[in-house]
């Protein structure tokens, strides 16, 4: 018969056997936790997230419109008289042939003495470009919409009031103050020729920075161009032209051409009809001939042009010039083919736009006649 162990001894052995098992389990659990934590740390260190280059946002650089410099030039500039100094001991020198430099400084546009700046041809239009085309030789154009007031609200304007406003402008010595109550575009354009074939009237405001659309009505508008002209040789000249609806030209303070549409010629000014008026077609109506005026050799004079549109639809402003001393070829109507008025060479981009709708024989785009000041 087996011997029984005392209860106290059996209890002691159970207790001793259970304690190491719990301790081992605890150690194992902590070891697993430490192992996992260490693995995560190592994994994080090895699999560090790669940085990506983020370019900085573009800088919004405000565009600046360059203003053409105003250069004052004296009408006469003579050097002081010098005294010739003769030397008795100077030996005779052989003749030295110098290269011909007569063509130097002829300018980028040919014949304007090198004062041109290269314009942004992509932004040029028949109304002009946003920057100076030929410094000192271009006309600055200001756009007015008499359909709207200065705040952009619709003004009380109709056909008769528009005609009266243009007449007030002419009678008040071409003072832009007459247009002060109406909207004026902050964008100015610069051009060296006034020759706009028949186009839609909505193009004018769009070229001056006013978006075309239902929010802007392209009626009752005008453009006032100001500049200077000169001929080194002087001469006697007159303008021919046609405007639908407004084309007025003033030289040295005198109205020399009113080529506005039909009876509007008499609405805008007390214009005396010339012998050649209504004889020849230019564009889609009869052309007007201006009064003769003289230019003194080398003396610059002020010149202004006003073009405009009344009811909308189509617009044009043809302006050519006749030199009294030149015999011109004639077109099929018998009208002389006259040069387009210009103060510098017409850029090819603008010339192509003009040719697109110009009837052959109505004007000479390639003439060398120019009225540049510099």
Count of structural domains within the chain: 1
Between CA 164 and CA 158 the distance in angstroms is 10
In a domain, 27, yes or no: no
How high is the mean pLDDT of the chain?
78
Between CA 320 and CA 309 the distance in angstroms is 20
pLDDT confidence tier of residue 32, bands split at 50, 70 and 90 = low
Which tokens in the block code for residue 102? 């007569």
Between CA 340 and CA 338 the distance in angstroms is 7
What's the CATH code of the domain at 326? 2.60.120
Beta bridge partner(s), residue 258: 248
For 221-257, write each residue's pLDDT tens digit: 999 999 999 999 999 999 999 999 999 999 999 999 9
In a domain, 128, yes or no: yes
Beta bridge partner(s), residue 189: 141
**Is pLDDT above 60 for 141?**
yes
Which tokens in the block code for residue 229? 């002209």
Whole-angstrom distance between the N-terminal and C-terminal Cα of the chain?
141
pLDDT confidence tier of residue 374, bands split at 50, 70 and 90 = confident
Across 66-71, average pLDDT: 43
In a domain, 42, yes or no: no
pLDDT confidence tier of residue 38, bands split at 50, 70 and 90 = low
Name the range with the highest mean pLDDT among 21-25, 63-67, 96-100.
Answer: 21-25
In a domain, 55, yes or no: no
Specify the pairing of strand 196-200 against strand 314-323. antiparallel
Which tokens in the block code for residue 295? 């230019």
In a domain, 216, yes or no: yes
Between CA 16 and CA 93 the distance in angstroms is 132
For 269-317, write each residue's pLDDT tens digit: 988 877 788 899 998 899 999 999 999 999 999 999 999 999 999 999 9
pLDDT confidence tier of residue 146, bands split at 50, 70 and 90 = very high
Model confidence, pTM: 0.69
**Is pLDDT above 70 for 49?**
no
User: What is the extent of the structural domain holding 274?
Assistant: 121-357
In a domain, 252, yes or no: yes
CB 343 within 8 A of CB 373: yes
For 82-115, write each residue's pLDDT tens digit: 444 343 443 444 443 433 433 333 333 334 344 4
Instruction: Give the helix/strand (H/E) hosting 268.
Output: helix 264-268
In a domain, 84, yes or no: no
In a domain, 158, yes or no: yes
Phi-psi region at 262: left, alpha or beta (left = phi > 0; alpha = psi -120 to 50): left
Name the range with the highest mean pLDDT among 36-45, 107-116, 174-183.
Answer: 174-183
């Amino acid at each position: 018969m087996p011997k029984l162990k005392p209860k106290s001894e059996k209890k002691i052995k159970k207790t001793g056997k259970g304690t190491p098992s719990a301790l081992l389990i605890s150690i194992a659990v902590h070891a697993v936790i430490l192992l996992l934590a260490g693995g995560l740390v190592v994994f994080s260190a090895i699999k560090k997230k790669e940085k990506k280059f983020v370019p900085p946002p573009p800088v919004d650089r405000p565009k600046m419109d360059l203003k053409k410099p105003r250069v004052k030039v004296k009408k006469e500039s003579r050097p002081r008289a010098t005294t010739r100094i003769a030397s008795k001991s100077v030996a005779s020198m052989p003749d030295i042939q110098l290269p011909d430099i007569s063509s130097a400084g002829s300018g980028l546009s040919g014949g304007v003495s090198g004062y041109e700046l290269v314009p942004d041809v992509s932004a040029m239009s028949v109304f002009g470009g946003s920057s100076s085309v030929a410094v000192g030789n271009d006309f600055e154009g200001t756009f007015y919409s008499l359909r709207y007031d200065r705040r952009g609200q619709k003004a009380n304007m109709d056909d008769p009031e528009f005609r009266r406003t243009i007449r007030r402008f002419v009678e008040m010595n071409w003072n832009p103050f007459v247009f002060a109550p109406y909207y004026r575009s902050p964008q100015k354009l610069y051009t060296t020729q006034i020759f706009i074939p028949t186009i839609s009237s909505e193009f004018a405001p769009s070229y001056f920075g006013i978006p075309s659309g239902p929010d802007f009505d392209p009626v009752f508008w005008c453009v006032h161009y100001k500049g200077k002209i000169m001929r080194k040789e002087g001469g006697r000249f007159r303008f021919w032209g046609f405007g639908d609806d407004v084309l007025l030209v003033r030289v040295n303070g005198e109205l020399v051409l009113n080529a506005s549409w039909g009876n509007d010629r008499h609405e805008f000014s007390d214009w005396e009809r010339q012998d050649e008026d209504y004889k020849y077609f230019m564009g889609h109506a009869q052309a007007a001939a201006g009064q003769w005026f003289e230019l003194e050799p080398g003396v610059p004079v002020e010149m202004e042009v006003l073009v405009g549109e009344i009811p909308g639809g189509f617009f044009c402003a043809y302006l050519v010039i006749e030199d009294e001393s030149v015999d011109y070829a004639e077109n099929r109507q018998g009208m002389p083919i006259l040069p387009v008025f210009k103060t510098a060479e017409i850029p090819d981009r603008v010339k192509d736009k003009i040719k697109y709708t110009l009837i052959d024989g109505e004007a000479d785009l390639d003439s060398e006649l120019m009225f540049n000041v510099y």
